[in-house]
Each structure stands twice: as C-alpha cells, then as structure tokens.
Amino acid sequence: MGSESHQLHVLFFPFMASGHMIPMIDMAKLFAIRGCKSTLIATPHDEPTFLKSIAKTKDSGFNIDAVTVTLPLKEVGLPEDCDNLNKITTEEIHKQFMRAIMMLDQQLELLIEKLAPDCLVSDIFLPWTNKIATKWGIPRLVFHGTSAFSIAGMECVALYEPHKKVSSDLEPFVIPNFPGEITMSRMQLPDFYREETEFTKFFKEAKESEKQSFGVVMNSFYKLEPVYIDHYRTFLGRRSWFVGPLSLCNKETEDKAHRGNQASIDQHEFLNWLDSKQPNSVVYICFGSMANFNAAQLHEIAVGLEASGQQFIWVVKKDPNGEEGKEEWLPDGYESRIRDKGLIIRGWAPQVLILDHEAIGGFVTHCGWNSTLEAVAAGVPMVTWPVAAEQFFNEKFVTQVLKIGVNIGVKQWVKLFGESVKSERVKEAVKRVLVGEEAEEMRKRSKALAEMARGAVEEGGSSWSDLGDLLQELRRQRLAHKKKI
Ligand code: UDP
C-alpha cells in the first residue's frame, strides 16, 4: 500500500480535566470512524474512563486505543490522587499540578518514538508539546475546547486592551475589531487579563504555540457562528477546522450514558422519571465539572427551584469544604415535598442523555463550552450563569448572538466558586426559560439550531467536510515528510 492510502495515525493528548478530556475522546472516536487509527493518552487513573468511553467504537471494529503516561506527582510534592484538574482546590496545588504536567515531555517523546504517529492533537493547555511534535517532524494541531466567538473575542481583548481604557470594573466596553458590537466589563474577564498572574505568562505561551502549530481544531460548526469563524480564520489568521458538535458522535443511549465519569444515578430510574413528563416541561441544572457553589448558594437554588413551581433535575456536586454526609443547604423536608416535581443527582449526571430527552425544556448552565454546545445540539434554551474561564464570553454568544438564553445576572468572574445569586432570581429565570412567549421563541430558535448541528456532522455537512479536508491535508503532510527523509 502506498503511504497516501496508509491509515493515518493520530495521537490525542487531552489536558487532565473532564471538560477537556470528554470532547477529545469524542474527537478520537470521530477520527477513528473516519478511517484513522486514534490513540488517546491518559493517566493510569483516567484510563478506565477512557477505555469505557471508547469500548463500543473499538468493538465495532474501529482502530482506537488508549496509552498511559504517569504524572510525576510525588516529584512536585503532590499526593497521588491529585491527578486531575477537577481535584485541585488551591492556587498552590494548581501550580504544582501544571509543573507535573510539563514534566511529561520525555514520556511523550518515548510514545512518539514508539508509536510513530502522523500527527499530534494536543490541548491548548499543553503548549510545550508543539516543540516535541516539531522535533519528531509531525504536525501538531491545537485543540481548543471553546467557540470561535470566545476565542476570537478574547484575542481581540488581549490585542486592543479595551479593559484598560475604562474607569471602573463595571463600566462596559465594546470589544474592538470584533463583529456584533459585543460589550463586556472588566469584571467579566478572567483574572489573568486584569492583572499579571502566573497564568498570564502561561496563557501567552499557549497563544504563541497556537500560532506556531500546524493549525487548530475546534468543537463548533460553521453555521452556528459563521461571522466569528471567518473572523478567527481571516482577521486573526488561524488555520482552523471546525468539526463539531463532537457530542453528536454518541448516537445510542449506551454511548451517551458512558460519556465521562460513572453516573451517580441509575439510568432507568431517571429515564422513567423523565418519560412520565410532558415535552419541554423540565429544567435541567448543572454547572459542569469544575464550578462549585457553597452551601448558602445551594440553599438559594433549592428555594428558587421550589418557588418556581417548575419540574427539575438538579445536579449537585459535593461541597469540598462541607462536612461529609451533611447537607446543610437542603431545606427541611425538601425532597419529600418536591418528590414528584424534582430530582436531585448527587455527583455525576449523564448530561447528554438528559439534555436529549424531549421532556427537557431548559438548562441552567455555567456556560462551559461543552455544556453550551450540548444544549445547542439538543435544541434546549438556557439560563446562563457563568462563573470562570471564558464562560462570560459564551454567555454573550448565547444570549446576544444566538438569542437562545436568558442571563441570571451574574456580573463577576470568579475562580470556581460562583457569585451569590438569590432564590428570587433563580425562580424568575427558570420560569422565563420554560414558560411563556419568550420561552417559546427561544425554543423555536434552539430547535432550528439543533437541526443545523445535526446537518453539520452528517455526510456532506460543514463539519463532516472540514474533517475530510483536514485528513486530506494531514495525508499530504505525511507524504511531504516522507519525501524529505
Ligand atoms: N458533565 C457530565 N455530567 C456532569 C457534569 C458534567 O456529563 O455531571 C459533562 C458535560 O456534559 C460536559 C463536560 O462534562 O461535556 C463539562 O464541560 P464544560 O465545558 O461544560 O464545563 P467544565 O466542566 O469544563 O467547566
């Protein structure tokens, strides 16, 4: 067989956090389904989750597998179970964790030497992998787990620094040279934009390595944000391929149920519960894998949900500062009162399975990009409650550009622990997204976008074609490289 038709081997290296690993696993599945050999890099702790997520694809005969690298946690002074960003609770541990990740360079080199992949797809938070890919003569693609809107918006803020020209943290500014007259305030920007932090330097390095990489592969689709994709490609000059929504590669119930961590609820229990509800009559509340709320905030949410009179599924993560087994946020007799109306999942929910159920009519979300795009793909309008990262940009995109969401009204970017929101606002926002004319309009727009999302990943759709073009390009690169050696 000539090298043109030889199976392309792509090595996928996700950052160790659920919101980064989940879409990368989906992407590896997608590449395998399109004829590549996909190898995922996992830590020994996460390997079982990876293997469970790819089992069905593998059993169907596609060429996909996982290999491991071991984080040198001891060497940086971290306990053994600190192997995932989701477990990091302080700035100091975060720094040590990032140092341990950077020390994976030799293990990555050994893997590349052994496996001889044709391409490395690695997370934006692994900028040092670019040099290694270059050394071994293979293209590195950056995986950006966000939208073109957010990435281009953030870049325009970094380039033109409008936040330095306003007189207060709350004074709005328009993002310069960015389509749509989008306004932000300094408070909504990540802290490393507002002041020099350790992460400011790291972020610059990551952006630099993005420019030097072969290109960028993103979890979005053209019709969702054509103006911003064009802006990112043309104005900011990034060679990029938009291959999402990646979650749509999970077609069967089983695929959706096995995505990410082990669900903390029996699948049949909540599906039966949802089956008994009218279409679009239940709101789903979940703040992703990182954001966390203290007991006082959880209490406000509980009270607001009950007062809204609406049906709900609410995912509550364990409060890391709370006492084991103590749920002081839960109002007295709450669960017996709301038994028919509400379901609380403590821990991990099979989110895509829930969002895709026809009973779900609204999603209260922290606007992590995966959650946002999963809601788009499921045709579900949102209540936006951003917390950190680029989530305030995603909120603008959902509420002002797509017009499929209402904001709960938080104004301040905070690391991990969200700004306090009173129960009254929860109640009002939940009602707004589920009932009335405005909800109906948003629902119509959401359903139309969901149709477009499905069209994008079907044969001939934009994401299908973008991936095809990318694979073609990678084959050309391999040929050119082979000729050189
Ligand atoms: N997720 C899930 N169940 C949960 C919490 C999160 O399946 O209980 C998934 C969710 O579907 C999404 C990812 O975890 O794919 C979270 O990514 P996102 O970008 O939304 O937020 P992050 O966790 O990175 O803040």
Cβ–ligand 1 distance for 206 under 6 Å, the answer: no
- Rounded to whole angstroms, the Cα distance separating 19 from 23 reads 7
Ligand 1 center–CA 265 separation, angstroms: 16
- Which region, left, alpha or beta, applies to residue 15 given φ > 0 means left and ψ of -120 to 50 means alpha? beta
With a 6 Å cutoff on the Cβ, whether 86 touches ligand 1 is: no
9, 20, 144, 258: which one is catalytic? 20
Instruction: Tell me the sheet residues that pair with 345.
Output: 315
Give 352 Cα–ligand 1 centroid separation in angstroms. Answer: 9
Whose CA is closest to atom 13 on ligand 1?
A: 19
Nearest atom within ligand 1 for CA of residue 352 = 11
Alpha-carbon distance values, 145 to 4, 18, 123, 149, 482 (Å) = 30, 11, 8, 12, 31
Rounded alpha-carbon distances, angstroms, from residue 165 to 3, 38, 175: 55, 47, 12
Q: 360 Cβ partners below 8 Å, 6+ apart?
A: 274, 280, 282, 283, 284, 313, 354, 378, 380
- For ligand 1, say whether the CB of 16 is within 6 Å of any of its atoms: no
Query: Rounded to the nearest whole angstrom, what is the distance from the C-alpha of residue 21 to the centroid of ligand 1?
Result: 10
**Is the beta carbon of 370 within 6 A of some atom in ligand 1?**
yes
* 101/105 Cα distance (integer angstroms): 8
Cα–Cα distance, 406 to 429 (Å, whole number): 7
Could you confirm whether 46 is annotated as catalytic?
A: no
How far is the C-alpha of 467 from the C-alpha of 254, rounded, in Å? 25
20 in catalytic set? yes
Q: Is the CB of 18 under 6 A from ligand 1?
A: yes
Compute the distance from residue 371 Cα to the ligand 1 centre, in Å: 6
Is the CB of residue 150 below 6 angstroms from any atom belonging to ligand 1? no
Catalytic residue, from 46, 83, 123, 319: name it. Answer: 123
Mutate to test the pocket of ligand 1, among 370, 382, 392, 395 (most ligand atoms within 8 A of CB): 370
Q: Determine the residue of 18, 219, 313, 315 to mutate for testing ligand 1's pocket, defined as the one with the most ligand atoms within 8 A of the Cβ atom.
A: 18
Q: Is the CB of 369 under 6 A from ligand 1?
A: yes
Q: Which amino acid is at 198?
A: E
Could you identify the atom of ligand 1 that is nearest to the CA of residue 374? 11
Contacts of 310 (CB under 8 A, 6+ apart): 281, 282, 283, 341, 430, 431, 434, 435
Q: Would you tell me the crossing angle of helices 369-378 and 437-457 to the nearest 10 degrees?
A: 100
Residue nearest atom 17 in ligand 1 by C-alpha distance: 19
CA-proximal residue: ligand 1, atom 11 (nearest): 351
Q: Is the CB of 349 under 6 A from ligand 1?
A: yes
pLDDT of residue 1: 40
User: How far is residue 172's CA from residue 163's CA, in Å, rounded to a whole number?
Assistant: 9
235 lines ligand 1 (CB under 6 A): no
Is any atom of ligand 1 closer than 6 Å to the C-beta of 354? no
- Cα 275 to ligand 1 centroid, rounded to whole Å: 23
- The answer, yes or no, to whether any atom of ligand 1 lies below 6 A from the CB of 19, is yes
Q: Which ligand 1 atom is nearest residue 369's CA?
A: 19
- Ligand 1 centroid–CA 398 distance in Å is 17
Q: Which of 209, 205, 193 is nearest to 156 (CA)?
A: 193
Output phi, psi for 466, to 5 deg. -60, -40
What's the whole-model pTM score? 0.96
Q: Given this model, what pLDDT does residue 417 score?
A: 61
374 lines ligand 1 (CB under 6 A): yes
pLDDT (tens place) for every residue of the chain, 485 residues total: 444 468 999 999 999 999 999 999 999 999 999 999 999 999 999 999 999 999 999 999 999 999 999 999 999 999 888 888 888 878 888 889 999 999 999 999 999 999 999 999 999 999 999 999 999 999 999 999 999 999 999 999 999 999 999 999 999 999 999 999 999 999 999 988 888 887 888 889 999 999 999 999 999 999 999 999 999 999 999 999 999 999 999 999 989 988 988 888 888 888 999 999 999 999 999 999 988 888 999 999 999 999 999 999 999 987 655 566 678 899 999 999 998 899 999 999 999 999 999 999 999 999 999 999 999 999 999 999 999 999 999 999 999 999 999 999 998 888 656 568 999 999 999 999 999 999 999 999 999 999 999 999 999 999 999 999 999 999 999 888 777 76
Q: Rounded CA gap, 293 and 425, in Å?
A: 16
Ligand 1 pocket, 146 CB below 6 A? no
Ligand 1 centre from 18 Cα, in Å? 7
